[in-house]
Amino acid sequence: MRNNYINLVIETALNEAEIALLEGEVPVSCVMKFGNIIIKTHNTTNKLSDPLKHCELDAIREYQRFHMSNTNDIIMFITLEPCTMCCRIITDFKERFIKCNLKLFFGVYNDIFGNLKITGNTFGECIYDERCIEIIKRFYEQQNPNTVNL
């Protein structure tokens, strides 16, 4: 059973994923909540023509702008299971830069590029929220000017 704190983070992430969808991005978003601060990001790989502009990396960079190193608990929710690159970045961030408890949740497994698929290891906790897969489906059902028509 989810508590209100987690539900707020999930709803915020889904709203951010909708923004990504409207911008023609793969609708994956990340929300970090610590204390009264909420950081919300979404993928901007198409907009910025940068394959490294994943929402997880942007959220961590935004967190570091706050120079917070001793916050209590951090909740990080990503609408889609992180890729292996982002898992490594999150692990380094957790081990090197913060002195707190980071709880990672994601909406659905990423059966193509997710950490479980690539490495066989789980990373974080999947909450199986169907809304997270529905928004991805909507992205792939629409015309995307950022892809080549084959």
Q: Is residue 45 pLDDT above 90, yes or no?
A: yes
Average of per-residue pLDDT across 143-147: 68
Cβ pair 11, 79 in contact under 8 A: no
Contacts of 46 (CB under 8 A, 6+ apart): 23, 24, 25, 26, 146
DSSP 120-145: S---SEE---HHHHHHHHHHHHS--T
**Pick the residue with more confidence: 58 or 1?**
58
Give the C-alpha separation, 145 to 150, whole Å: 12
Is the pLDDT higher at 59 or at 101?
59
Name the DSSP class of 70.
S
Could you give the C-alpha distances from 34 to 5, 43, 71, 111, 142, in angstroms and in order? 10, 21, 7, 29, 35
Look at the pTM and tell me if it is higher than 0.95. Answer: no
- The proportion of the chain whose per-residue pLDDT surpasses 90, expressed as a percent, equals 56
Kindly list the domain boundaries of the chain, sorted by start residue: 4-141
Give yes or no for residue 1 having a pLDDT over 50.
no
CB 56 within 8 A of CB 81: no
DSSP 114: B
Phi and psi (nearest 5°) for 35?
A: 60, -130
Q: 149 pLDDT exceeds 80?
A: no
Q: Between 76 and 2, whose confidence is greater? A: 76
Q: How far is Cα 56 from Cα 136, in angstroms, rounded to an integer?
A: 17
For residues 63-78, average pLDDT: 78
CB 85 within 8 A of CB 54: yes
Q: Name the CATH topology of 4-141.
A: Cytidine Deaminase; domain 2 (3.40.140)
49: phi > 0 → left, psi -120 to 50 → alpha, else beta; which?
A: left
